[in-house]
Amino acid sequence: MSSVLIRSEAEPTPVRPPSGTRVPQKERWAAFAFTLGAVIILVGLILYPLLDDIRLSFSRLSPGVSTPWVGLRNYKAVLTDPGFWASVWVTARYALTALILEFVIGFGLALAMARIVRGGGVLRTLILIPTMLTPAVAAINFRNLLNFDSGLVNYFVTLLGGQPKAWLADSGYSFAALVLTDVWRSTPFFVLVLSAGLVALSPEMIEASELDGAGGWQKLRYIQIPMLVPLILVTVLFRVIDLFRTFDTVYTLTNGGPGNATNVVAMQIYNDANVGQYTSYAATEAAVFMVLTLVVSVSLIRVMRSQR
Amino acid sequence: MAATRSRKGQTAVYSIVILWVLISLAPVVWMLLQSIKPAAQVFQIPPVWFFTPSLQNYRDLFSTTSGTQFGHYLLVSLTVTICTVLLTILASVPASYALTFMRVRRPNFWLILILLASMLPPVVLLVPLFQLWNDLHLLDNPVALILTYTAMNIPFTVWLVRGFMAQIPRELRESALVDGAGDIRILLQVMLPVVKSGIAAAAIFTVISAWNELLFAVLLTTDNRTAPAGIVATLISDRGINWGKLYAAATMVAIPIILFTVAVQRHVVRGFTFGAVKG
């Protein structure tokens, strides 16, 4: 069943015409015309900037200085920069923690959602709202909720007899706040995808396992989770890509701080680029980050394909 | 016995889901409440739970004498979002059609390339895109944002719409070709009605991403900001922030998205699951 569900994940269905047929000239022109708009935009605004970034990473560009070729000097600097690796580490820890929490909570909620008989539509809409809400706006709100003097969180903490804390001034708490903001925002994605996957599992198989005396836990462990593995992996891939992009929440909620406790790579590159002194340095960081992202995505895709 | 157990089960299932909904929507409700509180009570602790709702914060936000540009920012956001969606769909749907039905050389190579492009973290293009728009004298111009967002959204849109089109039997196009229809007519009259829910899903994702985007909005604009960039700039730069006004602004950004989500949630769920299922 799951193979029906995941018919062509991450692998295009072959669209090659039967071999031997010559592609008529007219159709070639038509294909060219149909893709032209997308190609122009993608070449101009993705491919060209990408190549330009690589060019910049081999140059030195600061106000008043413009050396077109400095060899691997920027790469050497970036790869030995503890600040850069700290931001990679923050991103990795952030992505992993958020991913695990979102998966566990999301799967639990998906199991519940898949059993709901009535009102599922309304609940789904409500669940979806945090995902769609502007992250910067949500982060502003959370920043206020966590405010030392006038935040609602400290109000409740004091109400329960605790000591108010400067949440966003503490590296552990601000990291946790960042993770929880994403859990709040992105768990619904897991809920929706996994509950759809659970509903689509063949009922015969589940019933058969029930007749064989499988309890709820066994059913989950030996039937439902294994059948959903391909879907889970695709969802994880989507989330990882998205988590690596995180900028809005960090920029608004913590601005990378305190210190660089929440300084994700996107924030690091933004700051280096924005200061202006470090144009080619930021470009090099971006190139290295691109390679890291590519390695992670491609490994996930390979795991996905080996699962089928 | 079985009936009571299942009723108990249903109660448990509903409680879990409703508990999550309550927790996750509480901050949103709080934000809405703060925006209609009299400005003096916004930061009072213990919080004022019962107050006379007032639209004063909103009036302040949009009053021309207050010096805030928020009305202008909202207009920029609206323009950028609408243009981005139209351009993205216009460029992507024919490309999806060509990649699905036409005999393109090495189609799989292109598809993999599109997939990789959709995985690219936008921050990677930060430096070169800033320089490009600077060289073209389009900094602080909505056109730069529109084109940048369009480029960011085309790969996923092509991928998603192609997934929907791939389910259509190829014979449909071939028989239409035999009947003498051109590809443009086939796309518009035969394919569009069949894949419209896929296009709707792609359009929705584009709306959300363009309306919510912050990185390029803060990087590429100074006066013609989008609403989220405008709010965040106020938050970060101003000393004496009027929090009531800020909450009103945040709500003005959030409300259209919430209403939009409620209106189109069916397509979103379809797109989410389809996007994930089809990868």
Report residue B1 as tokens: 């016995």
In this prediction, residues B219-227 reach a mean pLDDT of 93
Chain mean pLDDT for chain B: 87
CA distance A120 to A113: 7
Report residue B161 as tokens: 């719409």
Which residues of chain A lie closer than 8 angstroms to B123, CB-CB?
245, 247, 265-266, 269-270, 286, 289
Task: Locate the DSSP E strands across chain A.
Answer: 60-62, 65-67
CB contact under 8 A, A126 and B117: no
Q: According to the per-residue pLDDT averaged within each range, which of A1-15, A186-200, B98-112 is highest?
A: A186-200
CB contact under 8 A, B125 and A283: no
B22 touches chain A (CB under 8 A): no
Report residue A261 as tokens: 């406790």
**Contact, A288 vs A78, CB < 8 A?**
yes
A146 vs B67, more confident: A146
B107: preceding bond cis by omega (within 30 degrees)? no
- Residue length, chain A? 308
The H or E element spanning position A233 is: helix A225-245
CB contact under 8 A, B117 and A140: no
Q: Tens of pLDDT along B143-173?
A: 999 999 999 999 999 999 998 898 888 888 8
Mutation target to probe the A interface, by most A beta carbons within 10 A, among B127, B205, B245 is B127
One-letter identity of residue B68 = T
DSSP class of residue B223?
A: S
Q: How far is B205 from chain A (nearest CA, A)?
A: 9
B278 touches chain A (CB under 8 A): yes
H helical segments located in A67-165: 73-79, 82-115, 120-132, 135-145, 152-159
Report residue B245 as tokens: 């006004």
CB contact under 8 A, B231 and A9: no
Q: Would you state the pLDDT for residue A4?
A: 31
**Contact, A289 vs B123, CB < 8 A?**
yes
CB contact under 8 A, A27 and B214: no
Search chain A and give the residue with CA nearest B129: A49
Q: Which positions 58-97 of A are in contact with B (Cβ < 8 Å)?
A: none
Search chain B and give the residue with CA nearest A136: B228
Q: How far is A80 from chain B (nearest CA, A)?
A: 19
CB contact under 8 A, A45 and B100: no
Q: Would you state the pLDDT for residue B3?
A: 45
Which of A117, A135, A143 is opposite residue B212, by nearest beta carbon?
Answer: A135
B5 touches chain A (CB under 8 A): no
CA distance B236 to A217: 49
CA distance B256 to B271: 20
Search chain B and give the residue with CA nearest A46: B151
Mutation target to probe the B interface, by most B beta carbons within 10 A, among A3, A25, A45, A147 is A45
Kindly tell me if the per-residue pLDDT of A54 is higher than 90: yes
Which residues of chain A lie closer than 8 angstroms to B220, CB-CB?
none
In this prediction, residues A279-289 reach a mean pLDDT of 93
**Contact, B225 vs B76, CB < 8 A?**
yes
Single out the residue of A40, A104, A136, A134 nearest to residue B235, CA to CA. A136
B43 touches chain A (CB under 8 A): yes
The H or E element spanning position A297 is: helix A279-306
Q: How far is A99 from chain B (nearest CA, A)?
A: 16
Single out the residue of A57, A54, A49 nearest to residue A281, CA to CA. A57
- Tell me the pTM: 0.90
CB contact under 8 A, A247 and B129: no
CA distance B255 to A304: 38
Alpha carbon dihedral A49, B141, A139, A91, in 10-degree steps, equals 10
Q: Tens of pLDDT along A69-112?
A: 888 999 999 999 999 999 999 999 999 999 999 999 999 999 99
ipTM surpassing 0.90, yes or no? no
Kindly tell me if the per-residue pLDDT of B115 is higher than 50: yes
Kindly tell me if the per-residue pLDDT of A135 is higher than 90: yes
Search chain B and give the residue with CA nearest A50: B125
CB contact under 8 A, B130 and A273: yes
Which of A31, A123, A128 is opposite residue B98, by nearest beta carbon?
Answer: A31
CA distance to B84, B147, B166, B197, per residue, from B204 (Å): 11, 17, 20, 10
B253 touches chain A (CB under 8 A): yes
Which residues of chain A lie closer than 8 angstroms to B18, CB-CB?
123
Q: Would you state the pLDDT for residue A2?
A: 33
Q: Would you state the pLDDT for residue A1?
A: 31
B212 touches chain A (CB under 8 A): yes
Q: Percent of chain A beyond pLDDT 70?
A: 91
Q: How far is B265 from chain A (nearest CA, A)?
A: 6
Q: Percent of chain A beyond pLDDT 90?
A: 54
In this prediction, residues B30-42 reach a mean pLDDT of 88
Q: Would you state the pLDDT for residue A11?
A: 45
CA distance A265 to A296: 15
A144 touches chain B (CB under 8 A): yes
Q: Which positions 240-269 of A are in contact with B (Cβ < 8 Å)?
A: 241, 244-245, 247-248, 251-252, 255, 265-266, 269
A23 touches chain B (CB under 8 A): yes
Q: How far is B139 from chain A (nearest CA, A)?
A: 14
Q: Tens of pLDDT along A139-191?
A: 999 998 998 888 899 999 999 998 999 999 999 999 999 999 999 999 999 99
A299 touches chain B (CB under 8 A): no
Search chain B and give the residue with CA nearest A52: B128
**Contact, B229 vs B221, CB < 8 A?**
yes
Q: Tens of pLDDT along B246-265?
A: 899 999 999 998 898 888 88
